[in-house]
Structure 1
Amino acid sequence: MNKSPQAAPLSQVLRSRRWLLWGALLALVLALLGVLVFLAAEYEEGRDQTVLERDAAQVASDIRSELFRNVQTLQSLHSVAPTADSWAAPAAELLSAHREMVRLEWRSSTHALLAYRDTPYLASLSGYLNREQALPDVRQACDNARRFSGPAFSPSYFWPMVGGQGLELMEMCLPVARAGVPNGFLVATYSLPGLLNELTNKAMLRGRGLAFTEPDGTRLALHSTVSSSSSRRRTLQASTLLDLPGHTLMLRMESPRQVVGLFPNVLTAVVGALSLALLAVLALLGRDMRRRQRAELEVADALAFRKAMENSLVTGLRARGMDGRVSYVNPAFCQMVGYSAEQLIGTGLPAPWWPPELIDEYQQRQAVRLAGQTLPREGYESVFQRSDGTRFPVLIIEAPLIDAHGVQTGYMSAILDLTEQRRVEDINRASQDRLQATARLATVGEMASLLSHELNQPLAAIASYATGTLNLLNDTTQAPPTADLQLAMLRISEQAERAGRVIKSVADFVRRREQVREPVAPQSLIDAISPLLGLQAKKQRIRVHIDIAPDLPPVLCDRTMVEQVLLNLARNGMQAMPEGDPPAPERVLMLSVLQSRLQSGVSVVGRAPKSWVEFTVTDRGHGLSAGVQAKLFTPFFTTKPEGMGLGLSLCRTVIEQHGGALTFEPHPPRGTVFRFTLPVA
């Protein structure tokens, strides 16, 4: 079926729109994936930032706590060492235990140095500058301490050392008293790097950077930095204040991101994986939809094709469930019984097409079938009733209806309307009767023809002898000779007896009784029909090839009947080769006579086994089909428009009456061989 000119552009537009929708959906999913990854990354970064800020605050709290714990230690130092001489040893011990302190001093209320002790870990602390250079910071811290009546810290300052090195230091001044009377100040010099090294949690700082900085970001003291590999990543920073009495320090902590690349953390990776899985599912869904559409189109085409076949069938189809209810009928069945499909679907037993008087019989038959005893697949005949009440014969062929799971769900029936077949059979039966009557008439005609032919000579002879006898009796001039009259009457008797034998011979042939036969040479049988065969072969441009084996014995037969058989078979062979088929060189009819190798094998006492002579007629025609071979010797069966179908049947009857057999077989590459046997005399 040709498509319209607008069909192709319309399909292209629909296809482009479908791809546009899929592209928009893909872009939407990719955008959603990007947004999810971005939000997940921001969330993870914010969470890491919060953790870092909390840890920075914890470090600052730890440093502050340790500094105030040191204040308590320093207060106990002054109580156990009331004099300058006794103070040095405990101070040295305290410096050895606290590496963050680089110097301890005991100054008077006027800031005069009473005693001091340097840390044993820094030998060159005062090697570059005199300690008096830091006295302003000490006085500031002590003034704040006197005002606060407690410890006070000075701002940090850089203290250079020998070798170009230096430290960021900070002074802590603590007022001391004895018996309620002020007794000077205890000054502790802290190293900012020492505070970071000694007063922080090492496990918390693993892999992180920690430093004291100015508000503008300038580093004062560094504990650790982010590794070089981590520096190439995005680094998180958190700053917190270390609020001390008299001074506030800025503490900054750095930490690298834990996950790098496209998916910076597990949550983002999971979201990305889910998004990619969604894309894969969409791709699979699209492929499945395409396959489903193709399958639906194929199923629709198959359904339409099956529906067209069912609607074009002349055989009725009917499906019934195990309970006997009709689940499907085709239009042919509906037309057959005169009901619509809507009237038949769902009907049970008794069926509306059953004749009322046969309902009990059909009910019993259905019960046997539903019980599992199914009828044979070659079918059975039944009688249905149309909606108008007319009856018609049908042939029902039923088979189990098996579903896709191999379970029988009912029965599928094919119903053939035998009305036309019965009508044709009746016509054939009537024709057969007429043909049989015609055959009887033909047999009577043949008998009459034989009788007229055979009786012609004896009757003519009888008439001739009777005329001569009358002439002798009517001659009054002289007395009739007695001897001539006796001879004439004898000849009349002989011819009458011969006429009787002819009548008896024809009657015996018709009644299939044994006839009187005589020894006849095979050559004489062929010579008798050769003139007739030559005339017909010349008309049809067919060469007749005769092959007679030498020294053949005579056969015992009825000469006239056997000659007629040979003539009939030869004429049939010529008629099997119409003009031009086969070509002229192959248009040959072969007649052969030879001694048959077949012997009866049964002998009577005193007699030898019977021998046979075989006659063969071979043509080069198209041969015989299987249907023709099955009916070849059937009376009144013929393939000729003008034939009666009695020739081969009578030929076989004649040969069988002689005790022989008439057979046929194909002659490769084309043609047919007819052969018959006659007993040797």
Structure 2
Amino acid sequence: MPFYKVISLPKPLAIPTVDGAKRWWHRLTPHRQDRVAMLAPLAAVLLFFAAIVAALGYLRLEEMDREQEAVQRDVEYTQQRLRLRLLERQEQITRIARELANREIDANDFKARAANLLDQYPEVQAMAWVDEKKRTRASQGMGANTIGPYYIPGDVLLKQDRDTGYALTRQLNQLLYVQPPLAKDEAPLLQMFIPLNNKGRFSGVLITEYSIDGLYRYGVPSEVSARYAISLQDSTGRLLAGTSIPGRKLVSRFLPWANPGNEYSMPVSPVGSGLVIRAQAYRASLGVIGSGLFWLVSTLSVMTAWMLIANWRHTRRRLQAQQALMSETNFRRAMENSMLTGMRAMDLQGRITYVNAAFCQMTGWTESDLVGRTAPFPYWPDSEREHVAARLEEELTGNATPGGIQVRVKRKDGSLFDARLYVSPLIDAMGTQTGWVTSMTDITEPNRVREQLTASHQRFTTVLEALDASISVAPLGSDELLFANKLYRQWFGVQAGGHLQLVAEAGMPNSPTNDDSDDSVDSFAGLPTTTLPDSDPESAEIFIEALGKWLEVRTRYLSWVDGRLAQMVIATDITTRRLAEEQAATQAERAQTASRLITMGEMASSVAHELNQPLTAINNYCNGMVSRIKDKQITEPDLLIALEKTAKQAQRAGQIIQRIRSFVKRSEPNRTPSEVSTMVAEAVELAEIELRRFNVRLNHYVAARIPQVMVDPILIEQVLVNLLRNAAESIDSALRQTSDRIVELRVLPKRIDDKPVVEFSVQDTGKGLAPEVMARLYEAFYSTKADGMGIGLSLCRSIVESHLGRMTAENIYNGDDVVGCRFSFWVPLNDTGTLTYSEPPAPQPNLG
């Protein structure tokens, strides 16, 4: 039974038919059909132009390949000619070198043979025979500027390039071609070094110099140099002889399609890569770009494409114009139907020709009810027909008010509303007036808001007029007064001078200060005025001499109703408060002085005891000197010693009195840069008198290198003396043993709230402070002493806080037992002070 194999044939490709193209064309939208109709011819023109360019390019590439093959053949032929010529000269010169090595010829025979060779072959320029000691035995070609100075018989080779060639030839023991470096004006040369060997021993070198220009002139065939630019170059591409067409490589690199010309290079043997022959073909034609057919086809293609594009753009602009006209018509119709302003058009006789939907909606009448009607119109109120008719007459005669007129309009249901009408002439496309157009706006709600705003403004004005503070508003950089209340007018009048005076004396800017003072542009342009009302106001206290009043001036910037940047100034009379503050300050100063007097009064007995010691010593010294003088038992040196001791005791008594006087003297606070150690020393000197009375020992430490502080030293000393006295009294009332009756004073630099300060601390060993006392510690006239006035700690705290410092108090505990109390206060350092800290040494007792 025969076997049959079923083979499935591929489906035939779907070839588009005319009917399929028609169906595809009809499925496109009209806009796409127009685009395809315009782009198809343009694509056909571009394809035709591409085909022409491809054909011309292919022909030109074929021509370039043929030219390249011809150049390569001619260069190889020329290289063979040069090679044979060099090999012939090499063979002849090698024969002479062999005879020199075998000593068959002498120097004279060499010169004769060399002269014959130079005359016969013009490319050979010079020859020299150099022995194994680099001495020139003989040379020919003295006219050559490269041979002459160095190949004189008997001279030694010193030139570096010749010496290098000589050394290489001797080392390799074979023929060597060398191209020496030459001066700028010297002709290019080619040197051939042939070693001389006598029975296997090196005996010198035969040097031959070729003129590269001679090789080019006599070695390059004339038929090749006529067709090409032939040149001889070194390995770096430097031109040695011949001609070269410049700019070929640059053009070939950036414009490869332009085909600047064919060229071919190859080295000349037996020299090697040191001498390269290069041929460049002359351009015999302009190629594809210079072809007239190419430019003709290009011009026609560009013109056809340009006309197709211009036609397509013209058609597209027409379609765009049609669409814009349709959009504009639809937009105007939509705008007329959606606008809230009523529009009414009348002809020159006063007949309504057009009303929009908003006008009909406002009045309640339909378009058919109004179009074609003449006065009186149905939306006129019955009670105002004469008034509205007069307004219509003014409108028809062109005498309508430019700012519009306000009338009352009646709706179809009989209700009334306020409206404002604006009238303008209706001009057609020819510039002729065909009637009047009127716009109507419902202003019922704006009238109601305006009435409310008027009432609100009256209330606002009434409140501002009744205030006991002066309020004024003026624009920045101007002397115009925008607003002033009653009190301002009573104080300064209705001009802006008072406003400017308040701003100037308060030290607040009223106008911008910049270098562009002559610029007419507002210097506040771009400033975000919407945020100005939320900014913090500035305040200052000034004294107005003309009014005899102290005023607290507060200013803030605001955006005025017209958009300008303005400044509001509020001035409040604070004369009574200032007088009260001055009286309080005077009372506080008197209280400080009284506190110091009370302190010194309490210390009077101790001070008297302290002064009694130097006075007693003075009396004893004086009595002793009188007795010894009477008995004539004292010499002059002893007398001087006694007088010096007497004066020293008197000086001590004077210092004690002066210190007490300066402490209790009433004076104004005087903050000066003060040394901490000096203040502590003087306070300790005053307090030690009282401490000795209570049998209390004082240990004090002041850290080294503490900067100066800006304080009143008398007031700080008063605080220290008061704290030291309170500490001594606390220890005495606690009935401590003698060994426990200790007061410690420490002065150390610290940092509190990230700023450098100096801390003073006084620590006692008393019984501490009770919780109820701690709560009322700084309360004025509160004291735990039976005879205390209760102003000491209160004044101390006021003094410390007036120096921008703080005072604290705390109990010292040993377990649950209170073993003392510590009072601390600190004052800030100067801005120039540098905070340094050193650990305090072990406390040293200072017995009183």
Asked if TM exceeds 0.5, the reply is no
Q: With CA pairs under 8 Å and 6+ residues apart, which has the higher RCO, 1 or 2? A: 1
* TM-score, structure 1 as length reference: 0.32
User: What TM-score, normalized by structure 2, do the two folds share?
Assistant: 0.26
Q: Which of the two has higher C-alpha Rg?
A: 1
